[in-house]
Amino acid sequence: MVNRESQPDRLHESKEKGYEVRDANVSRILIYGLGLVALIMILGAVASGVLYKNMVWFSDATPPPPQFQAGQDQLPPTPRIEVQGPRDLREFREAEQKQLDSYGWIDKDRGLVRIPIERAMENAAREGLQGTQPAQGNGK
């Protein structure tokens, strides 16, 4: 506890001398300082050990994991990210349009062919659609 009666004397003495006359607890400051230095040294040693261990682990002498070895061009599983989405979509639609506008076999064994849409519409307009019956009125 602080002795309240001696405080005015110390205050008066401090004013006369121009500086604080009470001393700081030097031993406590030294203990905290040394503890802080020791803690920093311990943490530095631990960090150095971890860093050294990782350097040995990832050194050039250690071969890379199998998935990262050179010469392997293995694609990731599907679905993959579209790197160039607009270009891929444009190419896909061009291929579809080319297929819709050209002749080709659907099933050669059964004799099914693919004809352009315009040609199919002309045939349908000229000959009618097969398999459809004209609508029958109810007589009203």
Q: Which two tokens stand for residue 113?
A: 């062919």
What SS3 state is found at 131? coil
Judged against a pLDDT cut of 70, whether residue 72 lies above it is answered with no
Q: Mean pLDDT: which of 24-38, 54-68, 70-84, 112-126 is highest?
A: 24-38
Q: What is the pLDDT of residue 55?
A: 78
Q: Where are the domains of the chain?
A: 24-60, 86-127
Q: What is the pLDDT of residues 111-133, one digit of tens each?
A: 899 999 899 888 888 887 776 66
Measured CA to CA, the distance from residue 106 to residue 75 in angstroms comes to 31
Q: pTM for the full model?
A: 0.34
DSSP string of 37-106, one letter each residue: HHHHHHHHHHHHHHHHHHHHHTSTTSPPPGGG-TT--PPPPSSPP-TTHHHHHHHHHHHHHHHHTS-EEE
Task: Please classify residue 115 by burial: count the beta carbons closer than 10 Å to its beta carbon, then call 0-12 exposed, 13-18 middle and 19+ buried.
Answer: middle
Q: How far apart are the first and last CA of the chain?
A: 117
Judged against a pLDDT cut of 90, whether residue 52 lies above it is answered with no
Residues 26-54 as b or e (16 or more Cβ within 10 Å = b): eeeeeeeeeeeeeeeeeeeeeeeeeeeee
Q: What is the pLDDT of residue 13?
A: 82
